Amino acid sequence: MSQPTIESILQENRLFHPSAEFSQKAQIKSLDEYHRLYEQAKADPQAFWAHLAETELDWFQKWDTVLDWQPPFAKWFVNGKLNISYNCLDRHLTTWRRNKAALIWEGEPGDSRTLTYAQLHREVCQFANALKHLGVQKGDRVGIYMPMIPEAAIAMLACARIGAAHTVVFGGFSAEALRDRLVDGQARVVVTADGGWRKDAIVPLKEQVDKALADGSVPSVTNTLVVKRTGQETHMLGDRDHWWHDLQKQVSADCPAEPMDSEDLLFILYTSGSTGKPKGVVHTTGGYNLYTHITTKWIFDLQDTDVYWCTADVGWITGHSYIVYGPLSNGATTVMYEGAPRTSNPGCFWDVIEKHGVNVFYTAPTAIRAFIKMGDEHPKARNLSSLRLLGTVGEPINPEAWIWYQQVIGGGRCPIVDTWWQTETGGIMITALPGAIPTKPGSATLPFPGVLADIIDLEGKAVGANEGGYLAIRHPWPGMMRTVYGDPDRFRRTYWEHVPPKEGQYLYFAGDGARRDEDGYFWVMGRVDDVINVAGHRLGTMEIESALVSHPAVAEAAVVGKPDELKGQDIVAFVTLEGTYSPSDDLLKELKQHVVKEIGAIARPGEIRFADALPKTRSGKIMRRLLRDLASGVEISGDTSTLEDRSVLEKLRQG
Ligand code: WTA
């Protein structure tokens, strides 16, 4: 199993149609209906989005202007007032959904919990009051560093309810990475747990928080709120740290949702780019609520009795948009699972599907490939007949994995939605609508209505069918990021001026290479910048290089991705050492561990190669392109004439 190559994808022309039965019951029932919606949205985007905002969401006060576009800064539903926690909870309480399961949670060791909409609402209100009790106010930021337990979603909704912005930091990030994000977001409170389960071990999250906050290194943080999950001994610091179960007894369950402006900050989520430290992607209330709501409804084709499961972690955008906000805004039943695919329990995903009768299942190609490797006997030993729709996200899916997913998991009857999007886009942008759009294995198919996606060259001109180019979006959409937190200039430069705007026409540069075939289907090939995608986790090569050079033995480091059967890509680091150090196995281990300490286990290099020197141009720039070829074990392609010293390459080749 491998990453799709251009050759395999060019040959891929199988077309799969949804069954008539599926289409009849679907939210969007035919290709014609999709085309109608698409054309309608293209002709008058503002009317299209305004109609949906009016019919799909509850507002405390209607907006005056649908879109205020001062490129590249957009405001959607200007002066509208709403609260996303109200749309996710309160509005369902006056309907039959009051006692419907909102959240079904499955812990890694096999414990589980179900919260109805009424119960989830109560917990969110209490949690919101606990945050207020700690002094959190509208406009503050709250860090959330949690395992995959219901309280992670509860904390997010509680922040939204009182108008505090959350900044969720994936529980697999190290104390150092957590500290950087808390400092940048100036968080006032950190919500965490004593620990969480990850691949049969307890991750001591609170201990990491203590390290991150040590010696007053995050002065903005005054308190932590700690959920008891694993029960191991946990150090609590005097006035700073509070147990959630203690505070819960002191607060009321009455907390009306704060009316928020459409453009009030909802959350910051940090993501990696090609330069510098991770950037805080800013999402605001109204547009994000609408965009995640309608994409969830049409793409996952939610029906009232569906049990829907997205396997992402809430620490990533997929967890934000498609475990928490999108499904709950629709009044759906959303499943949350603490465990990850692991060889010690090769049937874990299929057990959850069988146990809870999951109908709609959304996961990542890397997980699919891991399960393929563990063997068909595991899914085949479970009853997966409840499934009716499958989804995938995070990286290109190779056609072999697509077919396995369709046959072995979907029993040949479930459509697959391959969804392309990013932290920055807030929600899904290119995807099949499952009852309407026939699918081709490996293609994300067509843009969602209202998304004017294109493949362009670096001048911004559209390229022809089947010509490779860069993926770009030509018109603002409600779920788009608004800025980089504290750095609007970086926002402008990174996404909107990469292709110089002409005559005031700005377009959003996604950073992915792609092509469009003769049917208009999009085939996303992967990143064109220095971002690598390791097991669906997005990492900047610069971040890993900075982590390496912060070790005293390292003089210089260059990090590249190489294709990997399971993870899609793996990290290879080329390292030169300071004079007094020499290469050894111990040093190799130490450097890998150092990266884990600086960033987290997801960034551990698969391979570190010691080198005397790195290949550079005469102006001193590292020629990563050559290193990429070397790491992948392929012939070095392209021009090497700008290389300053050709012997460097020869030496690296000889290892
Ligand atoms: C990649 C995750 C191909 C892409 C939601 C993008 C994909 C990056 C797909 C964003 C897909 C995501 N097909 N590539 N269906 N989905 N990607 O911000 O390179 O963690 O730019 O958001 O993942 O990663 P992020």
pLDDT tens string 179-219: 999 999 999 999 999 999 999 999 999 999 999 999 999 99
What confidence score (pLDDT) does residue 640 get?
83
Average pLDDT over residues 66-82: 98
Provide the mean pLDDT of the chain.
95
Q: Does 161 score more than 70 pLDDT?
A: yes
Over residues 586-600, the pLDDT tens digits come to 999 999 999 999 999
Q: What is the predicted pLDDT for the residue at 318?
A: 98
- 639 — pLDDT class (breaks 50, 70, 90): confident
Query: Looking at residue 2, what is its pLDDT?
Result: 46
421 CA distance to ligand 1 centroid (A)?
5
Ligand 1, residue 525: give the atom nearest the CA: 3
Residue nearest to atom 11 of ligand 1 (CA): 420
Decide if pLDDT at 88 tops 70.
yes
For the cut 60, the answer to whether the pLDDT of residue 8 exceeds it is no
Q: How far apart are CA 154 and CA 456, in angstroms?
A: 42
Length of the chain: 655
Which helix (H) or strand (E) segment holds residue 564: the answer is strand 554-564
Work out the average pLDDT over 239-256: 97
| Residue 5: per-residue pLDDT | 56
Q: Which pLDDT tens digit goes with each residue over 334-362?
A: 999 999 999 999 999 999 999 999 999 99
Helix boundaries (H) for 505-568: 541-549
For the segment 528-554, the average pLDDT, to the nearest whole number, is: 95
The letter for the amino acid at 554 is V
Cα of 605 from ligand 1 centre, angstroms: 21
Backbone φ and ψ of 117, nearest 5°: -55, -40
Give the model confidence (pLDDT) of 419-456 as tens digits. 999 999 999 999 999 999 999 999 999 999 999 999 99
pLDDT of residue 134: 98
List residues bridging with 362 in a β-sheet. Answer: 310, 391
pLDDT of amino acid 1: 41
- Yes or no: say if 228 and 193 are a contact pair by the CB < 8 Å rule: yes
Tell me which residues have their CB closer than 6 angstroms to ligand 1: 271, 316-318, 393-396, 418-423, 444, 510-512, 524, 526-527, 533, 538
| Ligand 1 pocket mutation, candidates 268, 321, 395, 429, criterion most atoms within 8 A of CB | 395
For residue 79, the CA-to-ligand 1 centroid distance in Å is 32
Q: Confidence class of residue 6 from pLDDT cuts 50, 70 and 90?
A: low
Q: Are the CB atoms for 57 and 469 separated by under 8 Å?
A: no
Report helix, strand or coil for 418.
strand
CA-nearest residue for atom 13, ligand 1, is 396
Site of tokens 């405001």: 75
Burial 354-363 (b: 16+ CB within 10 A, else e): bebebbbbbb
Structure tokens at 487: 């750095």
pLDDT digits (tens, 9 = 90+) for 375-390: 999 999 999 999 999 9
Report how far ligand 1's centroid is from the alpha carbon of 264 (Å). Answer: 26
Whether 581 and 408 have beta carbons less than 8 Å apart is answered as no
Extract the tokens encoding 118.
């009424």
Which bin fits 231, alpha (ψ -120 to 50), beta or left (φ > 0)?
A: left
DSSP 3-state assignment of 237?
coil
Given a contact cutoff of 8 angstroms between Cβ atoms, the answer to whether 399 and 441 are in contact is yes
Taking residues 125-133, what's their average pLDDT?
A: 98
**pLDDT of 229 over the 60 cut:** yes
Whether 486 shows a pLDDT value over 50: the answer reads: yes
Binned at pLDDT 50, 70 and 90, residue 276 comes out as confident
DSSP string computed for 7-56: HHHHT----BPPPHHHHHHSSS--HHHHHHHHHHHHH-HHHHHHHHHHHH
Tell me what the mean pLDDT of segment 104-111 comes to.
96
pTM: 0.96
The ligand 1 atom nearest the CA atom of 271: 18
With the most atoms of ligand 1 within 8 angstroms of its CB, the residue from 421, 473, 531 to mutate is 421
Residues 27 and 435 sit within 8 Å (Cβ to Cβ): yes
Atom number in ligand 1 closest to CA 527 = 19
Query: If you take atom 14 of ligand 1, which residue's CA is the nearest one?
Result: 395
Please enumerate, as own/partner, the contacts of 545-553 that have beta carbons within 8 Å and a separation of 24 or more.
545/573, 546/598, 547/594, 547/595, 547/598, 547/599, 547/603, 548/573, 548/575, 548/591, 548/594, 548/595, 550/594, 550/598, 551/590, 551/591, 551/594, 552/578, 553/577, 553/578, 553/581, 553/587, 553/590, 553/591
